[in-house]
């Protein structure tokens, strides 16, 4: 018997309760669970279990913070909302999850990274081989292309990311991809570098998730092959033992459980290049299908979020309000962040905190006296160093990518 209002300890729960819990994670009986009712046999039966060699969702979610929101159980996706992102560096338990397939359970001692294609010397590297190369640690942003998708109307199909949450800025430890490519010797005809991982689908007809990036981004110092996240080995859900990190670009460019690097003379041709992660070449009428000439989704446009105060928090008039948040802009830098406390009529500049690593989000804050009674809407709007400003209405697109609208948080101000 499970009850959504009562914490469940999976390790201690009897086997049958764990099965029921798995069924719930599969999203098949949440209604029954919310009512505290026993799961109907029919619904529990329909929950497919994962095949051997995968990490169960329950083990993954046990590592996540309270307030982590599961958006889908198959494939597993989830994130924390903005108010749980009030950190310079995203801790592992708050990093978003976006699987395309299942979570593989890999043995680091047997893991091999193969470098092939347009190289002078194909390589097969163990983790130990990689760790002998010059490594470094840096904080970099990753954000799912569909982050914010649920704010688009009409709804676009795909993971229903909230306006904020499908992103994070952990500290990564590893080597520059360029270090490995230089070791292999890239041929002059090379144009793109494709990544592939060890994750697999529910049936063998499911193709691998393979994405490629242009050579210019591949050779950049901060495009990395990493084994460490926030000072420890990568968690299984985030790619243990090895993943790529293509900072500032759509998250799908960064492949978890990395085992293959293929140097190509053109962008990789495959379903995850040609049918996903593409945006129209110009704004289209909302609800229409993709026009010809769609372009690959690469760097994120400028975006920001308010991480404090908490939504719907109560304050007394006459005091000080501290507003904090983060801003980021794909390959660009943040120039300014402006806040509005009057529904967007007037704006004032927030204080940008010291610049951290190149692809880390920029933290900002502003202290303001609270003197208006009632509901106060706080808006945040960032501008990057190329003059791009967050739009009031992000352009609708069929796959729901790149939502970078203005984030808002409402608080209640009461008489002192």
What's the CA gap between 122 and 132, in Å, rounded? 18
At closest approach, how far in Å is the CB of 296 from another protein?
A: 16
Q: Please report whether residue 31 would count as binding another protein according to CB under 8 A.
A: yes
Cis amide bond preceding 154, omega within 30: yes
Query: Which one, 40 or 185, has the nearer CB to another protein?
Result: 40
Q: Please report whether residue 49 would count as binding another protein according to CB under 8 A.
A: yes
At closest approach, how far in Å is the CB of 71 from another protein?
A: 7
Q: Please report whether residue 14 would count as binding another protein according to CB under 8 A.
A: no
Name 243's Cβ contacts closer than 8 Å, sequence gap at least 6. Answer: 197, 225, 226, 234, 254, 255, 256, 257, 258
Give the one residue of 51, 231, 319, 410 binding another protein; rule: CB under 8 A. Answer: 51
The pattern of x and - marking residues 146 through 185 that bind another protein according to CB under 8 A reads: --------xxxxx-x-------------------------
Q: Please report whether residue 412 would count as binding another protein according to CB under 8 A.
A: no
What's the CA gap between 80 and 161, in Å, rounded? 10
Site for another protein in 88-107 (CB under 8 A): 93
Pairing of strands 210-214, 97-98: unpaired
Q: Please report whether residue 376 would count as binding another protein according to CB under 8 A.
A: no
Stretch that binds another protein, among 37-45, 133-141, 241-249, 250-258 (CB under 8 A): 37-45
At closest approach, how far in Å is the CB of 146 from another protein?
A: 11
Q: Extract the tokens encoding 304.
A: 């920001």
Q: Please report whether residue 202 would count as binding another protein according to CB under 8 A.
A: yes
Query: Strands (DSSP E) along 142-296, which ranges?
Result: 142-143, 167-168, 171-176, 192-197, 210-214, 224-229, 232-233, 243-245, 258-264, 278-279, 295-296
Helix (H, G, I), strand (E, B) or coil at 389: strand
Cis amide bond preceding 75, omega within 30: yes
Query: Which one, 276 or 326, has the nearer CB to another protein?
Result: 276
Give the one residue of 4, 112, 322, 416 binding another protein; rule: CB under 8 A. Answer: 4
Q: Chain centroid to CA 18: how far?
A: 28
Q: Please report whether residue 236 would count as binding another protein according to CB under 8 A.
A: no
Across the strands, what pairs with 233? 228
Query: Which one, 23 or 378, has the nearer CB to another protein?
Result: 23
Q: What does the chain come to in residues?
A: 416
Site for another protein in 249-288 (CB under 8 A): 271, 275-276, 287-288
At closest approach, how far in Å is the CB of 292 from another protein?
A: 13
Q: Please report whether residue 50 would count as binding another protein according to CB under 8 A.
A: yes
CA distances from 118 to 123, 188, 370 (A): 12, 8, 61
| CA angle centred on 15, ends 14 and 21, rounded to 5° | 95
Site for another protein in 388-407 (CB under 8 A): 398
Site for another protein in 292-351 (CB under 8 A): 310-311
Q: Please report whether residue 371 would count as binding another protein according to CB under 8 A.
A: no
The three state secondary structure string of 89-154 is CCCHHHCCEECCCCCECCCHHHCEEEEEECECCCEEEEHHHHHCCCCEEEECCEECCCCCHHHCCC
Q: Please report whether residue 416 would count as binding another protein according to CB under 8 A.
A: no
Query: Which one, 59 or 108, has the nearer CB to another protein?
Result: 59
Comparing CA positions, the residue from 362, 327, 360, 364 lying closest to residue 171 is 360
Stretch that binds another protein, among 59-67, 215-223, 242-250, 388-396 (CB under 8 A): 59-67
Query: Which one, 11 or 128, has the nearer CB to another protein?
Result: 11
Site for another protein in 116-145 (CB under 8 A): none
At closest approach, how far in Å is the CB of 214 from another protein?
A: 23
Q: Please report whether residue 11 would count as binding another protein according to CB under 8 A.
A: yes
How many residues belong to the site for another protein (CB under 8 A)?
Answer: 78
Helix (H) or strand (E) holding 272: helix 271-274
């Amino acid at each position: 018997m499970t009850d959504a209002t009562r914490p469940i300890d999976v390790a201690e729960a009897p086997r049958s309760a764990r099965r029921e819990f798995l069924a719930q994670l599969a999203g098949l009986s949440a209604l029954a669970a919310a009512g505290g009712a026993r799961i109907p046999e029919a619904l529990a039966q329909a929950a497919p279990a994962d095949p051997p060699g995968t990490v169960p969702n329950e083990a993954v979610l046990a590592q996540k913070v309270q307030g982590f929101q599961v958006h889908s159980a198959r494939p597993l996706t989830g994130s924390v909302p903005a108010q749980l992102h009030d950190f310079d560096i995203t801790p592992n338990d708050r990093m978003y999850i976006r699987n395309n397939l299942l979570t593989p359970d890999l043995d680091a001692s047997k893991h091999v990274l193969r470098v092939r294609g347009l190289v002078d010397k194909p390589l097969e590297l163990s983790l130990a081989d990689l760790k002998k190369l010059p490594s470094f640690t840096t904080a970099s942003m990753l954000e799912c292309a569909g982050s914010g998708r649920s704010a688009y109307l009409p709804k676009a199909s795909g993971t229903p990311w909230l306006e904020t949450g499908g992103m994070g800025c952990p500290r990564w430890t590893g080597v520059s991809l360029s270090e490995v490519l230089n070791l292999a010797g890239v041929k002059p005809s090379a144009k793109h570098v494709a990544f592939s991982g060890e994750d697999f689908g529910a049936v063998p007809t499911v193709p691998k998730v393979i994405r490629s990036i242009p050579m210019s981004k591949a050779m950049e110092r901060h495009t990395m092959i990493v084994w460490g996240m926030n000072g420890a080995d990568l968690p299984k859900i985030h790619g243990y033992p090895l993943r790529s990190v293509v900072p500032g670009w759509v998250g799908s460019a960064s492949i978890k459980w990395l085992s293959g690097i293929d140097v190509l003379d053109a962008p990789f041709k495959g379903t995850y290049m040609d049918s996903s992660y593409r945006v129209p070449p110009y704004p289209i009428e909302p609800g229409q299908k993709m026009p010809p000439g769609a372009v690959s989704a690469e760097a994120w446009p400028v975006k920001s979020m308010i991480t404090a105060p908490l939504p719907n928090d109560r304050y007394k008039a006459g005091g000080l309000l501290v507003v904090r948040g983060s801003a980021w802009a794909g390959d660009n830098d943040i120039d300014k962040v402006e806040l509005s406390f009057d529904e967007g009529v007037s704006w004032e500049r927030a204080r940008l905190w010291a610049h951290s690593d190149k692809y880390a989000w920029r933290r900002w804050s502003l202290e303001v006296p609270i003197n208006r009674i009632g509901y106060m809407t706080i808006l945040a709007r960032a501008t990057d160093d190329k003059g791009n400003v967050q739009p009031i209405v992000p352009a609708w697109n069929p796959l729901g990518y790149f939502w970078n609208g203005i984030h808002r948080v409402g608080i209640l101000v009461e008489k002192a």
